[in-house]
Structure 1
Amino acid sequence: MRKNALAMSIATLVGGMGFVGAASADVIVGTGAAPTSAVLGATTATQLVLAAGGIGHQLITPYFNAQNGNATIISVTNTDTVNGKVMKVRFRGASNSDDILDFTVLMSPGDVWNATVTAPTTTAPAQIVTSDKTCTLPQLAAGVPQQFVTARLTSKSGNDIPNNTREGYIEIFNMADIPSTQSLYDGSAVAKQSNLYTAIKHVAGTPPCTSTAINTAILDTNHTAEATAANRGLATPTTGLFGNWTIINVPQTTTYSGSMVAVRALTAGNVDGRGNFVVFPQSATQYPGVINNVTADPVLRTANVCTSLTAANVCTAAAGLPAIPAAFFDLPDMSTPYAGAATPLIQAGTLTAALAVQTVVNEYATDAIISAKTDWVFSMPTRRYSVAMDYSPATSRRLYSQTLDPTLNLPFFHDSNTRINTGNAQQICVDATAQTFYDREEQTKSSGAVFSPGNISITTFCGETSVLSFADSGVSVLGGTVARQDTSSSAFTNGWGVVNVRSGATNLGLPVMGGSFIKATNPQVAAGQSGTYGVSSEHRFTR
């Protein structure tokens, strides 16, 4: 992707915000006993872990869908009733996790932000719309749809480019807190709340969203220095976020819902801590710093990037880097150092290890009596930081980051378990080991039970977020098309299944999340009444 084309596309998104000059930003390890106008508050977090209670510093929505009349509603709650949050929201496409929309949300203490993703037509890109009054950057006007951006997409990832915006997953980060305490903010000689806090704090149900204060603190200011960031009313990020998602189809009267996966930044004592300050301007300006210090994304990096990577972690170095010059809006991502002094490669490896599972287990139903249909969703949100698609050569290539398992020094994704599907959509495919389907009466199928298209023994996930339908050659439960496969007749009518995702000789497993979506119809329902039901359940795992 040429830099000027990207800049023009994203400039449309951020147009009208009035930023001037070049801003720069970086990861800042905070200091001080507590945030003031001079210090951000000491970074105390040393590790990232999954939050069993669902509240954390970062959130992952495994799947969103705007296909076949579906709408996805997302809702994020700031349970911190003292501090505001500077929250990055990024949508990534299902095919190869390309960035299709990102923006900044500024939540006040105790705030809730929600929005809905839809597709206005069957041929248009997805769009997001909200009636929420919470401040965003750029500001999402109430009730006015914002179309997803296709600048990072190409026909190589599927001839129907808008279709690649209608399915995927969502990354959400608390980049910084906005303290409500009083100090000598914004150069004031008298202790007061910061201009930024005043701008984002609701007054009689509505925040002022003062553009001057928000732009000065988030968009125009050089945040490479701790004192500058602190003086603008910012602090190192703490916990407090939880989120929910709902996929609803009004014409088909079906609804599926679940909780976002939460990631906590913990201290060495295993309590919630403060992460690093990771606010980057929401602009298309090229990042001027050392990109390898802030991301493990192999299409953005210039070092430790491989065109071939063996299971033993032997790397063939890539030339012609970076594949895409990083813009400020590309940062932060899930690999940007958040817990202490971790490097992007180590953080990506550690987070992938936390998500990695050995087997994936769930139920399915295709009983004709109730017109039952089943889709399974498999999402691997950290795969991007190990292997990504570079569309720039005449023949697309995989680029690997030499991301290591923190214990074994082995890669989760490598040449032996990944390949490129060279069909209509050039997607990175990941091969697991095997699968077994069971019916409800103890019968099993293993040999020949494949995910089509595949072969006799290998389960394949093509796409970053893939949908597996059960014996359904038509429009499946979710209507997914970007990265969909089908079991054909491999499974039973009803039952459960186990997918083994141990990564060959390394035995590391894969970072899979997702769930089962079952749709059924009551045949006894009276004419003119709805008898359609949707049931969703998260995958069960062994680790």
Structure 2
Amino acid sequence: MQKTMMKSLTMAVGIALGGLGVLPSAQAVYVSANNLGQALIFPYYTVRGGWMTLFGVTNTSALTVAVKVRFREAYNSRDVFDFNIILSPYDVWTGWVADAGDRPALFSEDKSCTVGAMSPNGIPFTDGLNTYTGTAADGGPTTPDRMKEGYVEMIMMGAANVVTPAGTPDLTPLARGAIHVNGVPTNCQALIDAFTNYNQLGTAGMAPTAGFLRGEFQFYGVDPTSNRSLNPLKGTFALVNGAKGLNAVGLPVHLEGYAWRADRDVLDPGIFMTSQLPKDEAGGKYYDSYNEPSLGSRYQDSVSGYLQVHRNYNELIFGQRPIPAVAFSHNTAGAVRTTGALEAVGLLNEWSRRTNAAAGWVTATDWVITFPTKHFFVDNDPDNEYAGRNSFRGNAVAAPGLTADDLTPFSQSFVDTAASPVVRRGKSCDSVSYQLRNREEQRSTTSLFSPSGSSQMCYEANVLTFNKGAILESPIAQSINYPENFTFGWLNVRFSGANAANMGLPAVGFGITSRDDGSSTLLSEAGLYNHTIVRPAL
């Protein structure tokens, strides 16, 4: 009883301090209560079936903020497109992805400084194919079509205070180049040059120094203009289907407390500010390349730099258990912190599926359930820089391969090249149980997942459709089938794997419901509703 009360008190104090804007514990990553943060997780993007996905990110601070944007495909979270945005104070960047034939393309008419260049005519996802084909193959599909759906992460790389007091040297000329004059950044090219020249990266923890990225973008956890927590980013997204007249708007998950220290995060220890260069051109250092930062880069404040994965995350988050030195490196430990912030033992949301237009309108519902840190546990390929676990990141598992403790809270590896024989199964499945009810409290006892016939979720971004409504037209969607007289209701999904049942899985997502009146065009609309997250008991 006393232990439970202490945990509850710890959480209550953390929430209270966060509400007051006081600096929270550096031990914790939090899901923001006010939709401002340092790292944003957009649960889904798609370009299938005529859909486009629109994105926006706002810098709400008086600082210049560098942001890593990374598109990850749905099967195994391989990075298929990434770039940097340098947001000037109070700046907004917008863009969208649409189908460009056999693959997606990114479009933007925005003038904010980016590395690389944007175009209203679209930039195809060309190089993303390299992350899951050839020597990087993981058993999943190897065509460009795989890149047409997934999720997106945006992570603050650092912030610069561009206000120079009179009579003092200008220590932020690079960051100042992102500031707009007449709607255009004054010297974006200098920032592009710096991000693509390893010699201008600088060293971890360096003193404020003009002309070096790590010397200018010095601020992470604290806003120097207010001495309050620095959570400058606000995101939005929308799924738009012009041919069907559908538009559904949502918010990403915003994480607070993600970037905390400039001298001890990622590896080495490196810092969140990295070059937009491949590993071989970034001084040969993985943690200085475009592979980082990621959702596993979060700063670790333990002396050992390690965390134990296979017990309840709440005890890690709220400091109820010592942190032992076990075989999990900085980056996997960072993934545990992020996983802990997102843990869910279940999800709740509504559904609607009516096919009779004469009854008023036709409705259909799809759900998206994404596990954005899963690859840090299940994707073990030591020699592959694109794998969630690799030797360059320092979290790879050597022969004989992944154990149950390594995989926890997940159940099955996606790829494990350290095992004998090598595993490249192309999926990583976790059991779920669920209760589907209509609006009159009746529970369906005959509903089954199809086409698999078993209740499992096997990918990083998963799509469920209700009685084959298939709004999102995802080829990886599973249909939940139930009696035809069930037309509206709600679903309770529980993660029922051996570890997930008590600890939860790192889950984000939403339901999307469409309505139209059948043959005419008088009514056509869509709504997006975030899942209710059922957290593990404290």
Q: CA RMSD in A?
A: 3.5
Letter in 2 for 1:437: L
Alignment gaps of 5+ in structure 1: 1-41, 267-271, 295-326, 404-408
Q: Aligned residue for 1:211?
A: 189
How is 1:158-307 mapped onto 2 (pairs within 5 angstroms)? 158-159=140-141, 161-182=143-164, 191-192=169-170, 194-216=172-194, 219-220=197-198, 221-227=200-206, 230-232=209-211, 233-237=216-220, 238-265=230-257, 277-286=271-280
Contact 1:177 1:236 in 2 (8 A): yes
SS at match of 1:164: helix
Q: Aligned residue for 2:373?
A: 382
Question: Is 1:480 aligned to residue 474 of structure 2?
Answer: yes
SS at match of 2:457: strand
Query: Residues 194, 116 of structure 1: CA spacing in aligned structure 2 closer, same or farther, 3 A cutoff?
Result: same
SS at match of 1:378: strand
| TM-score when normalising by structure 2 | 0.73
Question: Is 1:430 aligned to residue 429 of structure 2?
Answer: yes
Contact 2:378 2:428 in 1 (8 A): no
Quote the Cα distance in structure 2 between the aligned partners of 1:397 and 1:239: 26
Query: Residues 414, 453 of structure 1: CA spacing in aligned structure 2 closer, same or farther, 3 A cutoff?
Result: farther
Q: Which structure is higher in RCO with an 8 Å CA cutoff and minimum separation 6?
A: 1
Question: Is 1:493 aligned to residue 476 of structure 2?
Answer: no
Quote the Cα distance in structure 1 between the aligned partners of 2:170 and 2:507: 46
> 1:432-481: per-residue Cα shift (whole Å, max 9, x none)?
341111112121134x53322445xx521121101111111xx7101112
> 1:21-67: per-residue Cα shift (whole Å, max 9, x none)?
xxxxxxxxxxxxxxxxxxxxx99944311111110111110001111
Q: Aligned residue for 2:41?
A: 60
> 1:129-179: per-residue Cα shift (whole Å, max 9, x none)?
101001111222454434343111237655561211110001111111121
Quote the Cα distance in structure 1 between the aligned partners of 2:33 and 2:276: 31
Alignment gaps of 5+ in structure 2: 1-22, 221-229, 264-270, 306-329, 398-402, 416-423
Quote the Cα distance in structure 1 between the aligned partners of 2:499 and 2:122: 51
Query: Residues 84, 416 of structure 1: CA spacing in aligned structure 2 closer, same or farther, 3 A cutoff?
Result: closer
Q: Aligned residue for 1:417?
A: 411
Quote the Cα distance in structure 1 between the aligned partners of 2:388 and 2:174: 44
Letter in 1 for 2:332: L
Query: Residues 471, 426 of structure 1: CA spacing in aligned structure 2 closer, same or farther, 3 A cutoff?
Result: farther
Q: Aligned residue for 2:267?
A: none
Query: Residues 433, 117 of structure 1: CA spacing in aligned structure 2 closer, same or farther, 3 A cutoff?
Result: closer
Q: Aligned residue for 2:7?
A: none
Between 240-249 and 207-216, report the one with greater CA deviation: 207-216
Contact 2:374 2:410 in 1 (8 A): no
Shift, 1:235, TM fit: 1.1
Shift, 1:86, TM fit: 0.8
Contact 1:402 1:411 in 2 (8 A): no
Q: Aligned residue for 1:465?
A: 461
Quote the Cα distance in structure 2 between the aligned partners of 1:461 and 1:191: 56
Query: Residues 410, 209 of structure 1: CA spacing in aligned structure 2 closer, same or farther, 3 A cutoff?
Result: farther
Query: Residues 285, 227 of structure 1: CA spacing in aligned structure 2 closer, same or farther, 3 A cutoff?
Result: same
Q: Aligned residue for 1:319?
A: none
| TM-score when normalising by structure 1 | 0.72
Identity of aligned residues (%): 23
Contact 1:43 1:273 in 2 (8 A): no
SS at match of 1:100: strand
Larger helix percent: 2
Question: Is 1:97 aligned to residue 88 of structure 2?
Answer: no
Query: Residues 333, 159 of structure 1: CA spacing in aligned structure 2 closer, same or farther, 3 A cutoff?
Result: closer
Query: Residues 44, 476 of structure 1: CA spacing in aligned structure 2 closer, same or farther, 3 A cutoff?
Result: closer
Letter in 1 for 2:71: F
> 1:318-359: per-residue Cα shift (whole Å, max 9, x none)?
xxxxxxxxx811111111133656522222112111111111
Quote the Cα distance in structure 2 between the aligned partners of 1:541 and 1:225: 37
Quote the Cα distance in structure 1 between the aligned partners of 2:388 and 2:89: 45
Q: Aligned residue for 2:319?
A: none
